[in-house]
Amino acid sequence: MKDLIFENIKVGYVPDTEVVINNKKYLIHNVIDGETISVDINSKYPTLKEVLKKSEHRIDYKPEECGGASFMHIDYPYELKLKEEHLNDLFKGFRLDNKITVIGMDKPYNYRNKTTMTYKLSKTKRIVCGLYEDYTHNVITANNNILQCEKANVISNEINKILTKHKISIYDEKTRSGVLRHILIRYGFNSNELMVVFITNGEMFPGRGNVINDLKKLNLGITTIVQNYNTRDTSIVLGDKERVLFGPGYIYEYVNNYKFKISPKSFFQVNTEGMEKIYNLAISSANIDKNDIVIDAYCGVGTISIFASKYAKHVYGVELNRDAIGDANINKKINNINNVTFICDDATNFITKLAKNREHIDIVIMDPTRDGSTKAFINAIKYLNVKKVIYVSCNPETLKRDLYQFIENDYIVKNITGVDQFPRSLHLECVCYLEAKDIKKENTKKYNENKLRYIPKADIEMMREDLYERTNNKNQKKFR
Ligand SMILES: C[S@@+](CC[C@H](N)C(=O)[O-])C[C@H]1O[C@@H](n2cnc3c(N)ncnc32)[C@H](O)[C@@H]1O
């Protein structure tokens, strides 16, 4: 059948366009608003055949190098413009003090400091590693991925050759047999330290000695090698147990003159440049006074707490993950910080306790996961009479939902700024600044204690397990 032509197509934030063929709707990917395209309708799903009238923002790309990069075909300034329009549309009606702008990155390519890839055998029985295709378990090879740091690309390609040379057995998801499942590479852009983690289906790793020796001989700058065992039948990447094969088993990274320890399982923002920009914006928005008591909720390994400690009287960092709190306490020590306390608890539970005890808190900085925060957390902030809230969000949709709750609780959403933590992908980080309406006149007693709810201990354990699953799962929920 002949190709179909679609003229002057309409494309929203996600660079797809909807076409109707024989009364059925299909999405055609990698297009730009206003283009004219031809569509091949001879396969099961219609696909983009040719762009007949190209947008001035279209750039060349190699699909095999672009796993995870939905904006690969669009120039970076236009991507930032699309991101700004998307955020301004989403938060239309919030009566912000500012038009939302998005802070771009100096380095929009090869920025990821953490790479996780999955192994498979090619049809010709060569060992290859790649990324999961979005929302599936199909592995797409990623030899020179434009998002991963260059070091990770070089190392993963060399490792593939070494694994093939020593005929290392590759894990098969269907039969659950074979050894090597994934590889994790973490790089400290500022420290130049490099960690390689082999994730295997159990403790056995035949050929391990040969692989490690060959890898060390290449002098690729690897400072530590770890083996992690994962026998679970899921797409979760890391298992609980690990064994250090070379070096200390962790790396350090420097951000704004602070030093952070990163273990294989620690959460650390994936874009070091973006992280610095987000934290600087969050701290400057908070305008912390030397008498202020600050909460850093969802604090991970304590990075924001440590940044805030310089300006505040005291900072409380709260985090559910026990490993992260372990690292946070080490980070506090190695940076000689004395005015931060880290607490391992559910953030809602912790803040509810403070509210019930009528503690004094001046500022809350919160940085929850993509799911956002809880109504009970936001109610406790109101009950505590917190003056200022800085909400760092990696999901604008859940940010919007939570902001409605803040507004209901008499907070004013003053401004929102986007930070392009994840260039070339659809994801976006936001830093939002809120103020209590009129702190003096406000009568907090009307917020009776029934609004403050504790979470039962058993539920917190379930949340921990669920969090572990979500943060380690490569096959994430669909972006909306
Ligand atoms: C987006 S990360 C932010 C971490 C940190 N602020 C940073 O910049 O590295 C969200 C953190 O929230 C933690 N978390 C998830 N659910 C939580 C909960 N219910 N209570 C406390 N922390 C939670 C996760 O373990 C993760 O470390």
Q: Domain check: are 328 and 228 in the same one? A: no
pLDDT attached to residue 12: 92
Question: Rounded to 10 degrees, what is the CA torsion of 307, 312, 316, 318?
Answer: -30
In the reported structure, the alpha carbon of residue 198 is separated from the centroid of ligand 1 by a whole-number distance in angstroms of 25
Q: Is residue 391 part of a domain?
A: yes
Q: Domain check: are 47 and 163 in the same one? A: no
Q: Which residues line ligand 1 (CB under 6 A)?
A: 267, 269, 298-300, 303-304, 318-321, 324, 346-347, 367-369, 394, 463, 467
CA-to-CA distance for 422 and 425, rounded, in angstroms? Answer: 6
pLDDT attached to residue 470: 56
Element (H or E) spanning 181, and its range? strand 180-187
Ligand 1 pocket test: pick from 301, 369, 375, 430 the residue with the most ligand atoms within 8 Å of its Cβ: 369
Q: Is the pLDDT of residue 386 over 80?
A: yes
Q: Is residue 73 part of a domain?
A: no
Q: Is residue 70 part of a domain?
A: no
Q: Domain check: are 282 and 309 in the same one? A: yes
Residue 56 DSSP symbol: T
Element (H or E) spanning 332, and its range? helix 322-334
Q: Domain check: are 459 and 368 in the same one? A: yes
| 480: confidence class by pLDDT, cuts 50, 70, 90 | very low
Instruction: Look at the block and give the residue holding tokens 């608890």.
Output: 345
Q: Is residue 71 part of a domain?
A: no
Q: Domain check: are 118 and 97 in the same one? A: no
Domain count, the chain: 3
pLDDT attached to residue 43: 84
Structural tokens at position 449: 């204690």
Of the residues 255, 287, 322, the one at which a domain ends: 255
Q: Domain check: are 335 and 431 in the same one? A: yes
Q: Domain check: are 411 and 441 in the same one? A: yes
In the reported structure, the alpha carbon of residue 149 is separated from the centroid of ligand 1 by a whole-number distance in angstroms of 24
Q: Domain check: are 283 and 240 in the same one? A: no
Q: What is the 3-state secondary structure (H, E, C) of 335-384?
A: CCCCCEEEEECCHHHHHHHHHHCCCCCCEEEECCCCCCCCHHHHHHHHHC
In the reported structure, the alpha carbon of residue 287 is separated from the centroid of ligand 1 by a whole-number distance in angstroms of 23
Q: Domain check: are 48 and 196 in the same one? A: no
For the entire predicted model, the pTM comes to: 0.89
Q: Is residue 65 part of a domain?
A: no
Percent of the chain with pLDDT over 70: 89
pLDDT attached to residue 82: 97
| 65: confidence class by pLDDT, cuts 50, 70, 90 | confident
Q: Domain check: are 183 and 228 in the same one? A: yes
Report pLDDT digits (tens) over 456-468: 666 766 766 666 5
DSSP character string of 394-436: S-HHHHHHHHHHHHHTTEEEEEEEEE-SSTTSS--EEEEEEEE
Look over the chain and give the mean of its residue pLDDT values, rounded to a whole number: 89
Report pLDDT digits (tens) over 396-410: 999 999 999 999 999
- Pairwise pLDDT comparison (479 vs 464), residue with the higher score: 464
Q: Domain check: are 243 and 289 in the same one? A: no
Q: Is residue 22 part of a domain?
A: yes
What integer is the mean pLDDT of 126-138?
Answer: 66
Q: What is the CATH number of the domain that holds 373?
A: 3.40.50.150
Question: Rounded to 10 degrees, what is the CA torsion of 195, 200, 205, 208?
Answer: -20
pLDDT attached to residue 135: 55
DSSP character string of 63-127: GGG-TT-TTTTB-HHHHHHHHHHHHHHHTTTS--SS---EEPPS--SS-BSEEEEEEEE-TTS-E
Of the residues 186, 220, 255, the one at which a domain ends: 255
- Of 299, 394, 430, 432, which one is the catalytic site residue? 394
CA-to-CA distance for 402 and 410, rounded, in angstroms? Answer: 13
pLDDT attached to residue 475: 41
- The answer to whether the beta carbons of residues 295 and 287 sit under 8 Å apart is no
Q: Residue 149 catalytic?
A: no
- The answer to whether the beta carbons of residues 200 and 211 sit under 8 Å apart is no
Report pLDDT digits (tens) over 201-226: 999 999 999 999 999 999 999 999 99
Of the listed ranges 40-49, 79-88, 141-150, the least confidently predicted one is 141-150
- The range of the structural domain enclosing residue 432 comes to 86-105+271-469
| 451: confidence class by pLDDT, cuts 50, 70, 90 | low
Q: How many C-beta atoms surround the C-beta of residue 178 within 10 A?
A: 16
Listed residue (284, 277, 282) closest to 297, CA to CA? 282
- Which atom of ligand 1 lies at the shortest distance from residue 349's CA? 20
Q: Is residue 215 part of a domain?
A: yes
Percent of the chain with pLDDT over 90: 70
CB burial of residue 308 (10 Å; 0-12, 13-18, 19+):
buried
Q: Domain check: are 312 and 216 in the same one? A: no
pLDDT attached to residue 244: 96
Q: Is residue 16 part of a domain?
A: yes
Burial 38-75 (b: 16+ CB within 10 A, else e): ebbbeeeebebbebeeebebbeebeeebbbbbbbbbbe
∠ CA 280-479-105, nearest 5°, is 30
